[in-house]
């Protein structure tokens, strides 16, 4: 690797992308951000102006083959972290758009990686690629999960046929500042609601694998720190805890919080070992749920009143 490593992050205006930008800038990487969005709204929640000035922002559609190939060729990056995607509700609302972004968009990135001979390529699949927690039911249950499963198989074939290497990470329920959309964003929204004095109902209960944003961003960045050989698909876990415990932790920080739970357990396995990925990457941070909730609420308290928090997310 050259003295200043370089990374292109797709979906850079998303929650996880914003945290990857933050860690990459703090670690001295040259950072290129790609997203449909024109401006870095979520990264602004985490990075100051000086840090953002170190991010080259490209507004591009990952569904556009030539735009993706051109960007990767022109920026000359040595690593790619691909996070651009439509989440579960958006895929359900518009299946063709979901397939275009999540499957064709990923094919475009893989082709660009192949063409540029990039050896450090990591992208997000999901726990949804596993299907339900019920082992007797073989179906994935969501189109989003089906698209993610397809990209995992594509990555395996890209290695088999063209030796395009990849690390594919399957997160569970990611929480932290910036997590404002998608099926599993409700625990973070509940933290925001508590800070701004609004009521909130989390529409699922039972247990889930809670993964702090900073930890997952660290795992993605670590996965492209050195050249990869092979296609490696890993589960990420976080902490398997009851949604009710999260509510208790929110109340510990904001005693007046009005947060309820109304729903069944999520249709994903709530506790999968992350030992293989930790062994492969040589470890990455593991923030306890207690610390993660505390840091998230502290982050929202810091941002409340700055006008940068989009409270309309609490109504979606
Ligand atoms: N957040 C989670 O709990 C979770 C869990 C499992 C997997 N994942 C996966 O991790 C990745 C990042 O998730 P996130 O929570 O940051 O998502 P997010 O919804 O916050 O961000 C996704 C980003 O992708 C961008 N995007 C959408 N369509 C695009 C297009 N055509 N071209 C370019 N950019 C486009 C959006 O503008 C957005 O900034 C996704 O692949 C997601 O499926 C997330």
Distance in angstroms (rounded) separating the CA atoms of residues 100 and 94: 10
What single-letter DSSP state applies at residue 315? G
CA-based nearest residue to 251, from 167, 182, 208, 193: 193
Pairing of strands 166-170, 120-124: parallel
Mutate to test the pocket of ligand 1, among 42, 86, 87 (most ligand atoms within 8 A of CB): 87
Tell me how crowded residue 152 is: count the other CB atoms within 10 A of its CB. 18
Distance in angstroms (rounded) separating the CA atoms of residues 62 and 85: 9
Helix (H, G, I), strand (E, B) or coil at 235: strand
Distance in angstroms (rounded) separating the CA atoms of residues 272 and 268: 10
Confidence grade of residue 131 (pLDDT, cut at 50, 70, 90)? low
Q: Is 83 in the pocket of ligand 1 (CB under 6 A)?
A: yes
Q: Whose CA is nearest to atom 17 of ligand 1?
A: 14
Alpha carbons within 13 angstroms on the beta-carbon side of residue 183 total 26
Distance in angstroms (rounded) separating the CA atoms of residues 73 and 310: 35
Q: Is 84 in the pocket of ligand 1 (CB under 6 A)?
A: yes
Minimum-distance ligand 1 atom for the alpha carbon of 86: 27
Determine the distance separating the centroid of ligand 1 and the alpha carbon of 83, expressed in angstroms. Answer: 5
Q: Is 216 in the pocket of ligand 1 (CB under 6 A)?
A: no
pLDDT at residue 301 is higher than 70: yes
Q: Is 122 in the pocket of ligand 1 (CB under 6 A)?
A: no
Beta strand residue intervals within the chain, DSSP E: 6-10, 30-35, 55-59, 79-82, 120-124, 166-170, 173-175, 200-202, 207-212, 231-235, 239-242, 259-261
Minimum-distance ligand 1 atom for the alpha carbon of 125: 7
Q: What is the pLDDT of residue 104?
A: 98
**In this structure, what token pair is assigned to residue 246?**
């999260």
What single-letter DSSP state applies at residue 30? E
Distance in angstroms (rounded) separating the CA atoms of residues 165 and 130: 22
pLDDT at residue 1 is higher than 80: no
CATH topology of domain 6-177+211-239+267-286: Rossmann fold (3.40.50)
Confidence grade of residue 195 (pLDDT, cut at 50, 70, 90)? very high
pLDDT at residue 92 is higher than 60: yes
User: pLDDT tens digits for 36-81?
Assistant: 999 999 999 999 999 999 999 999 999 999 999 999 999 999 999 9
Q: Is 106 in the pocket of ligand 1 (CB under 6 A)?
A: no
Asked which of 18-32, 132-146, 162-176 is least confident by mean pLDDT, the reply is 132-146
Q: What is the pLDDT of residue 114?
A: 98
Helix (H, G, I), strand (E, B) or coil at 57: strand
Q: What is the pLDDT of residue 137?
A: 66
Minimum-distance ligand 1 atom for the alpha carbon of 61: 32
Minimum-distance ligand 1 atom for the alpha carbon of 100: 31
CA-based nearest residue to 61, from 98, 95, 105, 12: 105
Among residues of the chain, what percentage have pLDDT more than 70? Answer: 97
Minimum-distance ligand 1 atom for the alpha carbon of 90: 19
Average pLDDT, the chain: 95
Mutate to test the pocket of ligand 1, among 84, 109, 310 (most ligand atoms within 8 A of CB): 84
Determine the distance separating the centroid of ligand 1 and the alpha carbon of 174, expressed in angstroms. Answer: 11
Q: Is 132 in the pocket of ligand 1 (CB under 6 A)?
A: no
Distance in angstroms (rounded) separating the CA atoms of residues 85 and 144: 9
Query: Nearest 5°: phi and psi at 80?
Result: -130, 130
Sign of CA dihedral 70, 76, 78, 84: negative
Beta bridge partners of 169: 124, 234
Q: What is the pLDDT of residue 188?
A: 98
Asked which of 1-10, 168-177, 271-280 is least confident by mean pLDDT, the reply is 1-10
Asked which of 95-99, 178-182, 264-268 is least confident by mean pLDDT, the reply is 264-268
Q: How many residues in the chain?
A: 316
Q: Is 265 in the pocket of ligand 1 (CB under 6 A)?
A: no
Q: Whose CA is nearest to atom 31 of ligand 1?
A: 61
Buried-state track 231-242, b at ≥16 Cβ within 10 A, e below 16:
bbbbbbbbbbbb
pLDDT at residue 139 is higher than 80: no
Determine the distance separating the centroid of ligand 1 and the alpha carbon of 98, expressed in angstroms. Answer: 11
Determine the distance separating the centroid of ligand 1 and the alpha carbon of 34, expressed in angstroms. Answer: 12
Full DSSP string of 155-191: HHHHHHHH---EEEEE--EEESTT--SSTT-HHHHHH
pLDDT at residue 269 is higher than 60: yes
pLDDT at residue 133 is higher than 60: no
Helix (H, G, I), strand (E, B) or coil at 87: coil
Q: Is 17 in the pocket of ligand 1 (CB under 6 A)?
A: yes
Q: Is 213 in the pocket of ligand 1 (CB under 6 A)?
A: no
- Domains of the chain by residue range: 6-177+211-239+267-286
């Amino acid at each position: 690797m050259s003295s200043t490593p370089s990374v292109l992050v797709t979906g850079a205006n998303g929650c996880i992308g914003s945290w990857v930008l933050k860690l990459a800038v703090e670690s001295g990487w040259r950072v290129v951000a790609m997203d449909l969005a024109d401006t870095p709204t979520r990264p602004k929640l985490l990075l100051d102006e000086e840090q953002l000035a170190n991010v080259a922002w490209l507004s591009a559609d990952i569904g556009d083959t030539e735009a993706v190939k051109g960007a990767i060729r022109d920026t000359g990056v040595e690593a790619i972290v691909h996070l651009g995607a439509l989440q579960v509700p958006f895929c359900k609302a518009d299946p063709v758009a979901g397939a275009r972004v999540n499957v064709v968009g990923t094919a475009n990135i893989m082709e660009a990686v192949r063409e540029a001979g990039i050896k450090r390529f990591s992208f997000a699949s999901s726990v949804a690629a596993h299907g339900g927690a019920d082992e007797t039911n073989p179906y994935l249950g969501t189109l989003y999960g089906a698209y993610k499963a397809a990209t995992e198989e594509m990555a395996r074939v890209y290695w088999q046929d063209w030796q395009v290497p990849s690390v594919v990470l399957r997160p569970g329920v990611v929480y932290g500042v910036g997590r404002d959309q998608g099926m599993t964003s409700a625990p973070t929204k509940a933290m925001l609601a508590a800070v701004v004095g609004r009521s909130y109902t989390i529409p699922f209960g039972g247990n889930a694998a809670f993964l702090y944003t900073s930890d997952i961003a660290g795992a993605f960045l670590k996965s492209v720190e050195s050249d990869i050989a092979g296609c490696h698909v890993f589960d990420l876990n976080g902490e398997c805890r009851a949604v009710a415990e999260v509510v208790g932790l929110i109340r510990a920080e904001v005693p007046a919080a009005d947060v309820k739970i109304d729903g069944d357990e999520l249709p994903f396995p709530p506790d999968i070992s992350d030992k293989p990925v930790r062994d492969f990457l040589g470890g990455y941070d593991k923030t306890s749920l207690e610390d993660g909730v505390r840091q998230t609420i502290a982050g929202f308290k810091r941002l409340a009143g700055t006008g940068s928090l989009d409270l309309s997310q609490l109504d979606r």
